[in-house]
Every structure is written in structure tokens, then in C-alpha cells.
Amino acid sequence: MTDMGTYLYAITREEGRLSPEAGRLSPEGMAGVAGTPVRALRHSGLAAYVTTVPLDQFGEEPLRRSMEDLDWLGETARAHHHVVEAVAETAPTAPVRLMTVYSGDDQVHDLLDRRRDDFAAVLSRVAGRREWGVKAYVAQAPGPVSRSGGQVGQVGQVGQAEDGPAATRPGMAYLKRRHADLRSREEAQRQAVACGERINAVLMELAVAGRRHRPQDPRLSGRDEWMVLNGSYLVDDDRGGEFAALVHRLREEGMDVELSGPWAPYSFADVAGTTDSEVPGGVR
């Protein structure tokens, strides 16, 4: 009745197949998106972790609508992430983006055939490594008075900030204050960018590779401070502790740094070595 599709989560090497005693750790059988059971398609020396999904939910048109449903999206993203993580615990893994749906297993086989070398390259890049996320924040510049501050428009108050002429020349006082605001904001921005650069440089000494992503919107990060660094770092497994300790040290030095992970190498799994996907970091 309903058309079914094949939903792809992640790709690993086939030799990543687990020994029987580790079998209970296998992602196979665990619940994927919409509760569908995860299967492994083994082909061309690779294993693709998939589930079969109904296209009346995961077809292009239904998705267009349901992706706007934040609850549904959150739930599905967690399910996807869950499977990716489970796979990544067992073998070097190339995570696939959310909502990658094929018309059937054949199409996935075909993909594994055609992209085998690309996947092999990705997998060898991430093997024995995991991704750590580091975000750094800088408090918003304290000085600038914005309209949102509600301190504008009160001429008397403006005058007090200046020395003297404000009472007689409120217009000039206003412009000068604006001038100072803009200046200090620019300066704060420069410092923030420099701070992000510094932290990134320190982290890159330990990491095998790093990607800087667009700073998150405050509504997503849940923090009002400036995100001056939103980086992902590919770190050798045996240096993960060192990396975490390094971030911890930065924190102790007074930097506002957040560490997350380790993650499956989401940020380092682009096919065909397209390393140019790097997003310029820093503060806009």
C-alpha cells in the first residue's frame, strides 16, 4: 500500500562488523526515526545503516510540512543522532545528514558502489578520532547604549554623560555619544574576534583538524553573550582527555568556553575531500 523508502543514517566500513560478543552493542535492531528498526546494508566493503520508512511521512512533500513542526523535528533529530552515535561507537563512521531518503535499498547499494572511494577516504580520515565541539563566548560590550536600552531620548540624562556643552548642544552631544558607541562596539568586536582566533589556535595545536561554524543564534545557544567561536575539532581518540583538559584549562584562565562531545565526526565527513565547506567563523 504505502510506498516505502530507505532512510540512511551513516556509513561505515564493512569490516566494522561486530564480533558476536559485541553483538548486543550493534546498532542493528535499535529504533531509528519514527521507531523503525535499524538494518545494515553491506555492500562494496561498506555498511550503510538504514531503516525502512513510509514515504507518506518521509516523502518530500510530507517532510516539507513536518520539518516545520519543532517537536517532530526535535524528536526525529534525536532519533537520527542516536543511531549515528550508536554506529560511531562500533566503527569509524561517516554520518549522513538528517532526512536522507532513498527510494529503496537498491539505490543505496548503487550509492555505495559509486562513492566507495569517497567514503573510504572519509572513513580513513575519521578513523580513531572523534569530534569535539567548542564554543567560546565573550560578554557583550558593556559600554554602548542602544535604543533597546531605553536610555535614549532623555535629553537631560544624555547631557550628564558629557561635560558641559550637552545642555546647550544636545544634538552634538547625541552624535558624539553615538560616535563613541560605534567606536567601542567596533573595538569590542575586534577583541572578540581576536579572542576566538586565539582559542581556536590553541585548540588546533591538539586537534587533527578543525572547522569553524557560524556562531549560533542566541535563541539557539540560549546565551546572550557573543559567540566568538563555534568550532568543531577532530581529535585522536587517545588525546580526547587531553583536549577536554585543555578546554578546562582555558576555562580556568577565565575564558567562557563550552565543550561538547565527543560526537560522531559530523563536521568532518564531507565526501570527496571538499574541505572548502569551512564557514568563516568569528563575529559578524
Partner 1 sequence: MSQAGDERPAARPARWRLDADSESVERDLTRLVLTLVELVRQLVERQCVRRLEQGDLSDEQIETLGLTLMRLEEAMTDLCLRFGLSPSDLNLDLGPLGTLLPTD
Partner 2 sequence: MIDPRGGRPVLRETYGTPVPAGREPANLGDILERVLDRGVVIAGDIRVNLLDIELLTIKLRLLVASVDTAREMGIDWWEHDSWLTGKNHELIDENRRLRERLAAVEEVLALNRPADAKGDTAEQRPSGRQERARGGRDRD
Site residues for partner 2, 83-112, by CB under 8 A, read 84-85, 94-103, 107, 110-111
Which three cell numbers mark 84? Answer: 549515528
d(CA 239, CA 262): 11
Largest CA distance in the chain: 86
- Choose from partner 1, partner 2, none: what does 49 bind? Cβ within 5-8 Å by kind: none
- Nearest Cα neighbor of 94 from 76, 75, 115, 66 is 115
Give the gyration radius of the chain's Cα atoms.
25
- Choose from partner 1, partner 2, none: what does 143 bind? Cβ within 5-8 Å by kind: none
CB of 101 to partner 1, least distance (A): 18
- Choose from partner 2, partner 1, none: what does 139 bind? Cβ within 5-8 Å by kind: none
CB of 161 to partner 2, least distance (A): 32
CB of 62 to partner 2, least distance (A): 9
d(CA 187, CA 192): 9
Count the Cβ atoms, other than its own, within 10 Å of residue 155.
13
- Nearest Cα neighbor of 123 from 101, 96, 162 is 96
CB of 30 to partner 2, least distance (A): 12
Judged by CB under 8 A, does residue 203 bind partner 2? Answer: no
- Choose from partner 2, partner 1, none: what does 47 bind? Cβ within 5-8 Å by kind: none
CB of 93 to partner 2, least distance (A): 10
| Phi-psi domain of 259 (left: phi exceeds 0; alpha: psi -120 through 50; beta: other) | beta
- Nearest Cα neighbor of 227 from 110, 135, 123, 94 is 135
d(CA 223, CA 248): 19
- Choose from partner 1, partner 2, none: what does 130 bind? Cβ within 5-8 Å by kind: partner 2
Which three cell numbers mark 4? Answer: 516505502
Q: Which residues of this protein are in contact with partner 1, per CB under 8 A?
A: 64-65, 140, 144, 146-150, 152-153, 155, 169-176, 178-179, 182, 185, 214, 217, 284
CB of 18 to partner 2, least distance (A): 14
Written as one string, the DSSP assignment of 37-61 is: BPEEEEETTEEEEEEEEEHHHHSHH
Judged by beta carbon, residue 153 or residue 254, the one nearer partner 1 is 153
Question: 60-74: b or e for each residue (b if 16 or more CB lie within 10 Å)?
Answer: eeebeeeeeeeeeee
d(CA 118, CA 123): 9
d(CA 110, CA 271): 16
- Choose from partner 1, partner 2, none: what does 152 bind? Cβ within 5-8 Å by kind: partner 1
Please choose, out of 138-146, 156-164, 201-209, 212-220, the segment that lies near partner 2 by the rule CB under 8 A.
212-220
Please choose, out of 80-88, 144-152, 171-179, 187-195, the segment that lies near partner 2 by the rule CB under 8 A.
80-88
Which residues here bind partner 2, judged by CB under 8 A?
Answer: 5, 11, 55, 58-60, 63-64, 67-68, 70, 73-74, 77-78, 80-82, 84-85, 94-103, 107, 110-111, 114-115, 119, 122, 130, 133, 213, 216-217, 219-222, 232, 237-238, 240-242, 244-245, 247-248, 251, 257-263, 266-267, 269-271
